[in-house]
Every structure is written in C-alpha cells, then in structure tokens.
Amino acid sequence: MAQTDQFRQEFIAFAIEKEVLRFGEFKTKAGRLSPYFFNAGLFNDGVSLMKLGEFYAAAIKNSGIEFDMLFGPAYKGITLAASIAIAFAKDGRNIPYAYNRKEAKDHGEGGTIVGSPLQGRVLIIDDVISAGTSVRESVELIKASGAEACGVAIAIDRQEKGLGELSAVQEVIANNHLPVCAIANLHDLLNYLTTKNMVQNLHAVEAYRQKYGVI
C-alpha cells in the first residue's frame, strides 16, 4: 500500500474511532438519505484535534498546492486552520493563519478578519464541501483583502453529485478555478470497509454511490 493510501486509511479508522464518521441513516443537506455521516465538530479534544491537523498537513503536502497562509471560515474552519498551522510548525514551517467573524466587530480592532492579515496565496480550510457556499464567500473575502485564494483543503470528499452531474467538489473546482485536496474520499472509505470486511456498511455505501456518486 502506498504511503498516501496508508494515511487515508488511517484517517478513516481514526474518524470511526472518534465517532466522527458514523454509519446508519442520515439526511443530508441535499435531502438524500445517506448511510454514513461525517461531523468534524466531534474532533473535540486536544489529542484528536492535534491528530486531525497532522492528517490535514500530510494531505496538503501531498497535494503539491503552494500557499503562503491558511484561512478557516467560521466556525468549523477556525479550529481546523489553527490545528493545521500547529502541525506545520511542528514540522519546521511557521505558517500564518486567519479566520473571519460572522458579523463585523465595530469596536477594538474592528473588521471581520481575525489573525494574520490576508496576503499572498491563501489556502482555504474546511471540513466538507456541500453546496460550495462557504468556499465562494471565502474567495470573495480573500479577494477583497487584496490576497489570492490558491486552493481548498477538506477532510473528506463525498464524491457525490452536487447541483448537476458534477460533484460538489468538482463544482467548486470549475466555478472558482481552484484545486481541492481531501484527506480521504468515498473511494478510500469503500476500500476501508472492504479491507475490514464491514459487509453491511459496505453494501449500503456502495448502493448510495451507485445512486448519487460521480467517478
């Protein structure tokens, strides 16, 4: 197994262990009944957040996307960007990061951006891409600050149809002309379920992929 495939499989095992990745019947934002659900908000302690940042950093390095700083859209993106910055710092690269407020602050330092000033090539950090709204808003915010969005890093790519025949990730790539990297995707999840002989979950996820998936 290639090193890239190895860390993807390790990430899925980690997400299942922390019950961030669950199996059952869940209604998605698109109104679909999905046999699995991923909730990055449940990486909610120091050790799991540290490990998550390391998985993100590995995926980002593997992607080859060149960037100068990180941007985490509120709210989930805030802790994600911070954990990734720490992971890179442990690896010898000190990267600035920033995040936005949902509402502009009219006192103190004011404004909507917290952290390092947005400048250079900015990598957007999120957990998943559903409709691409968060990415679009982030790109506009970054551009308004005189910086340039250079890509998006997410935890898991569901590889299912968005508004049309493209996946939500493919739509973001096409609409924003940005590369997107993910720690793992639906293909990796199917591989994991096959390897671990989790037959019931495998059949349910495979049936869902047949109905809504994109290649």
Strand pairing category for 97-105 and 111-115: antiparallel
Residue extents of the structural domains in the chain: 3-212
pLDDT in tens, the chain (215 residues): 566 789 999 999 999 999 999 999 999 877 899 999 999 989 999 999 999 999 999 999 999 999 999 999 988 899 999 999 999 999 999 999 999 987 665 544 546 899 999 999 999 999 998 777 889 999 999 999 999 999 999 999 999 988 788 998 999 999 999 999 999 999 999 999 999 999 999 999 999 999 999 96
Residue 105 confidence (pLDDT): 55
Separation between Cα atoms, residue 24 and residue 22, nearest integer Å: 7
Structure tokens, 177:
């002309």
Residue 2 confidence (pLDDT): 63
**Residue numbers annotated as active site:** 105, 107
Separation between Cα atoms, residue 74 and residue 79, nearest integer Å: 9
Task: Tell me the CATH number of domain 3-212, given options 3.40.50.2020, 3.40.1390.10, 3.90.1300.10, 1.10.1740.10.
Answer: 3.40.50.2020
Q: Is 184 exposed, middle or buried (0-12, 13-18, 19+ CB in 10 A)?
A: buried
Cα-Cα-Cα-Cα torsion 145, 146, 151, 152, nearest 10 degrees, comes to 0
Residue 86 confidence (pLDDT): 98
Separation between Cα atoms, residue 16 and residue 39, nearest integer Å: 11
